[in-house]
Structure formats: C-alpha cells, structure tokens
Amino acid sequence: MSTKRITGAQAIIESLICEDVDTIFGYPGGAIMPVYDALYDFIGTVNHVLTRHEQGAIHMAQGYARVSGKAGVCIATSGPGATNLITGIADAMIDSTPLICITGQVASPLLGTDAFQETDVVGISMPVTKWNFQITRTEQIPEIMAKAFYIAQSGRPGPVVIDITKDAQFGQIDFEYKKCTRIRSYVPVPEVSRPMLEQAADLINKAKKPIVLVGQGVILGSAEQELLDFLTKSGIPAAWTLLGLSAMPTDFPLNVGMLGMHGNYGPNTKTNECDLLIAIGMRFDDRVTGDTSRYAKQAKIIHFEIDPAEVNKIIKVDVPVLGNVKQTLPLITELIQEKSYPEWREEFKECDRIEYEKVIKNDLNPEKPGLTMGEVMRLLNEKSNNEGVMVTDVGQHQMVANRYFKFTKSRCCVTSGGLGTMGFGLPAAIGAKLGAPEKVVFSVSGDGGFQMTLQELGVIQQEKIGVKVIILNNNFLGMVRQWQELFFESRYSFTNMTSPDFIKLADSYDIKGKRVTSRDDLAKAVEEMLSDDEAYVLEVVVEKEDNVFPMVPTGASVSDIILESPKVEVES
C-alpha cells in the first residue's frame, strides 16, 4: 500500500474510512478539534451526526451497531466530553456491543498536571471496556486504530476507547493502514472440543424434558439459521432472554417465550422442571435465574459459550461447549437424533393458556376504560404487519414491549439489558434508523426515561430522521412505583412525575405528534403515525397504576413467578 504524509487527525479519519465506517456520532470540543477540522474535508464521504449530548452520541452508536452488526463509532472531547460517554460504554460492555469511542486529550506534556478539561480517561474507562489505549505519538495511530476495530468486533464484542492527545493529532506521519487480523496472546474464539460436543449430544439424545435458552450470542454470531436447524431437528422447546429476542421468529413453532423477571409463565416454571437445560449464547444473568440456589437443580446443564469467563461463573454446568455458536451449533446438530416432545410441549401450552387468562387477555384487549401499554403494542404489530425495529427505553414499557412486540427478522430488538440505562431509548432509536434506514424504527419510552435524553429530538429535526417515537405516559416512574406497591406498602416515595406537553415539545422541533387519551382514538393515531416516512411523536396516556406481570420477585425462585398482585389480607 502506498503511503502519504498527513496529520494524526487526518490519519484518524482515514483509518475509519479504511474500516468502512460510514457514520460517526459526536460532539466537538477543544481537545478533539484537530480531528473535527480534518473531518471537514470528508463531508460527503463520512456522515457525522452532531448530537446534543455525548451520552446521546454513544447510545446512538449502540443502536447503530445493534441493528447493522458493525462497530458503532462516537467521538468526544476530553474531560466532561469523555466522562459523559462512560454510562454508554458500561452499557455496551455488559451487553456486548462493539463500539469505537475516540476521545480527545490534552497535549502529552500536560498529562497529569490537572490541565483544563483533563481527566484520566484510560483509568476511568478501564473497568467498562474490552480494551483501551492512550495515543501520545502520531505514529501509533494506524496500528492502534486497526487493533481497536479488531478487538471490538472479534469474539465476544465490546467497546474500545482510544484516547488521543492533542499533540498526537497535530503531528505528521507517512500514513499506511493495515487491518488487524491477529494479536498475540488474544484468542477471541476458543477452540472447539470434540469430546465436549459428544458429551453434549449424548445428554440431548437421552433427555425427556429438555429446554433451550437462547441468548444474544446467537445474534452476535449470526447463527440464527443454525439455531433454527438445531431446534427443528432436536424438537426442543426454546425460550429467549431479553437480548436474545428476535434470534428466532415470534411465530416459530418451538418458540415458548421470554425468560426472566417479567418473562412468560411457562419457560420460567419449566426451567425448574426440565431434565436438561441447554444455554446457547447467554450468561445466566440474575434476572433470568432468580435465586441461583434454587435454579434448575434437577437438570443437567449444557452451556454453548464463546467467552470462557462466563462458564461456571454463576451456574455450574455439566458440559461446556466453547466456541462461536455459528460453528458449534451445526456440529452438535449432526450428532443429535431427530426427536419431538409432544407431551412436554403440551405442558408449555397449558402454561400459555393460564397466562393468557390471567395476564395477556387483559393486557392486549382490556375491558377497563383506561389504556394499557399492551394494547399499544398490539396495534403497533397489527398496523406495521409485524415489520419493524423496536427500540425501548428502560422500565415497565420495556418489559411490555418485549413481551408483546412480534418479530420476523433478527436484529430488530434494541434495548438496554444488563445495565438498564434510562434515557437509552430515543438516541438508540436514532442510531438504529441510521443503521437500518430501510426499516420502520419505533422508539418506545416511558415518560421518565424519555425526559432524560429528549434533547436528541434536535438530531431528528436537523438530520430529518424518520423515527416513530411512542411515549407511554403514566405520570409515574412506573417500574419503581410497581415495586413500591408490591414490596414497600404502596409508599410512593418520589415516583409521581409531572411532564411537559410532549406534543408542544415535538412541535417546537418541527416534528408532528398527537396525544391520545381514549381507546377510540388510538388506532387512527397509530395509522397516522405510520402513514409517511417522517418522524412522529405519539404520546399515549395509559393507566397510572397498571402493573407488569408475570413477575419473579427479587430473591425468589423462578418457580415462584406470580401472575397477579398478591392478595393482602386486612385485619378486621
């Protein structure tokens, strides 16, 4: 490859182009100004989105990465610009989202002097990054950028932070870029063990009541078809984690629903009745397991996992199968017998019937006058023909949306799982729309989370991004209020929330909108929202004190899942 003499700042942009980056989210400032000056010459080659806050930038990069499968890229200046990224970096780390976060830094002679807008970005971000590095010399830029992309996207993905001093940005180098394909001592994908596969196949072939737990590893490994092939041959019922949602179509015959605290009745209770539990690309999060001392004690456990650190970390397993599931699933499918479990599957269907009568019927088709979050999701499904990307914020609406929104394709669910970051929804939806411009993107938020990053409506206005924003407004911090009702004797301590006029707010950003308070107006409003490609804000005023069920109380076993508020007996 021929070389050319350019500045370090130009080398940053050239490196991004060599990695096929087409979109950057960021906010300029003093210590990153040379990079922004270089970016001026690449207008039209690279699309830069000016966010209204650095947290918005990183959440947009997350949304972009989650739907596109590519690393999201964001840029911030030093000091507060960099620290404003930390929440999103932590979110991306725990949810395995590939990101390249570039931060400016004071000139290298000033490091450690408490210079203006200096912070120890490497030290602060170390616990929540897959890798980070501070560049102090211009000649380091191409190699470090190449390593950053390789590390962020290989194996179990994650965020990488590159902190670049201002003098390194101003310096000059003969630029030559070579993509990184290997780093000594870094093994992103462990070698597959044939004996472990054979042991796993033996357990599967002998099982009478097996269940599969599908995690995001299937999506990250692009192993959706391999999963369906395995399930079809094995005949095993499969449930999904919050981040595993959309790995298999909602209507896939063996799909038995969602696991976890607000998951479906069947997969939660049957976890403690199965004789074999097969975890595929999931990490046994506490919201899935409940009380680990009472989790699947009767079952043999097989764990398909790319990250050896996750094996036996929370739940002790009988057979670990390490490797990328795109490779290991076809290998196990060859070894297993073709089977079906009609009686076992009927037990799940009976659980579905119970849950429908106790919960789902009232959520989707309520008889009470107040609107429910579930019926909004039902209408979104119907009016969009189950086609679209759903991006949620965090709270009650998140659980309802994930329970009831239907999926036909993968990478169509974007939510903050492990960290549960309020304010994630709106900016992540903007990033998702830019990552999948051909798809309808729904941003579903509660009134609380929406107000944490509502300033990013300015990005929608400036960039003309056609996100469909749905605000489910119950005038409460709903999930906290539900816990206060159930576990703190309805002492609603600082969860009642007064909100602005969201439709006037949308209008101030030149975004169309409508507020719905009546069931008679809901369907028409949804149709109006979907009728053109422009952005739209739909505020739906829902029941103030509606709860999300089923629910596994904190510290309880998954077998103790409840379908309604516990009856409280009042002494006479």
Mean of pLDDT over the chain: 96
Sheet holding 238-240, edge to edge: 255-258, 238-240, 210-214, 276-280, 300-305, 319-322
3-state secondary structure 94-148: HCCCCEEEEEEECCHHHCCCCCCCCCCHHHHHHHHCCEEEEECCHHHHHHHHHHH
- Provide the pLDDT for residue 126: 98
Cα separation, 258 vs 548, in Å, equals: 14
The average pLDDT across 546-569 equals: 88
**Predicted confidence (pLDDT) per residue in 373-418, tens digit:** 999 999 999 999 888 999 999 999 999 999 999 999 999 999 999 9
**Predicted confidence (pLDDT) per residue in 4-46, tens digit:** 899 999 999 999 999 999 999 999 999 999 999 999 999 999 9
- Provide the pLDDT for residue 567: 62
Under 8 Å between Cβ of 421 and 58: no
Cα separation, 296 vs 233, in Å, equals: 24
> Token match 């490609």: residue?
533
**Predicted confidence (pLDDT) per residue in 442-479, tens digit:** 999 999 999 999 999 999 999 999 999 999 999 999 99
Is 452 one of the catalytic residues? no
- Write out the two tokens for 376: 């909004």
Q: What is the CA radius of gyration of the chain?
A: 24
**CA dist list (Å): 310 to 307, 317, 418:** 6, 11, 14
In the predicted model, is pLDDT for residue 158 greater than 70?
A: yes
**Predicted confidence (pLDDT) per residue in 325-354, tens digit:** 999 999 999 999 999 999 999 999 999 999
In the predicted model, is pLDDT for residue 570 greater than 80?
A: no
Question: Which residues lie across from 48 on neighbouring strands?
Answer: 24
Under 8 Å between Cβ of 308 and 322: yes
In the predicted model, is pLDDT for residue 571 greater than 60?
A: no
Q: Which of 258, 452, 479, 529 is catalytic?
A: 479
**Predicted confidence (pLDDT) per residue in 493-504, tens digit:** 999 999 999 999
Is 206 one of the catalytic residues? no
Chain center to CA of 332: 28
**CA dist list (Å): 518 to 207, 376, 514:** 51, 12, 12
Which H or E run contains 503?
A: helix 502-508
Residue 437's SS3 state is: coil
Is 270 one of the catalytic residues? no
Is 55 one of the catalytic residues? no
pTM: 0.96
Q: How confident is the model at residue 368 (pLDDT cuts 50, 70, 90)?
A: confident
- Provide the pLDDT for residue 385: 87
Percent residues over pLDDT 70 in the chain: 99
Exposure of 276 in the CB half-sphere (CA atoms within 13 A): 23
Residue type, 88: G
- Provide the pLDDT for residue 105: 98
**CA dist list (Å): 325 to 213, 259, 278, 281, 328:** 13, 20, 12, 7, 5
| Cis peptide upstream of residue 550 (ω within 30 degrees of 0) | yes
Q: How confident is the model at residue 2 (pLDDT cuts 50, 70, 90)?
A: low
Q: Which of 70, 130, 147, 166 is catalytic?
A: 166
- Provide the pLDDT for residue 572: 38
Cα separation, 8 vs 189, in Å, equals: 33
Q: Which domains does the chain have, with CATH numbers?
A: 4-175 (3.40.50.970), 194-346 (3.40.50.1220), 369-556 (3.40.50.970)
Cα separation, 143 vs 150, in Å, equals: 11
In the predicted model, is pLDDT for residue 166 greater than 50?
A: yes
Is 62 one of the catalytic residues? no
Cα separation, 274 vs 236, in Å, equals: 11
3-state secondary structure 215-250: CCHHHHCCCHHHHHHHHHHHCCCEEECCCCCCCCCC
Tell me the pairing of strands 4-7 and 172-175.
Answer: antiparallel
- Kindly report the number of other CB atoms within 10 A of residue 150's CB atom: 20
Percent residues over pLDDT 90 in the chain: 96
Tell me the pairing of strands 441-446 and 468-473.
Answer: parallel
Identify the DSSP state of 193: P
Q: Which of 10, 19, 25, 54 is catalytic?
A: 54
Closest by Cα among 199, 270, 287, 272 to 236: 270
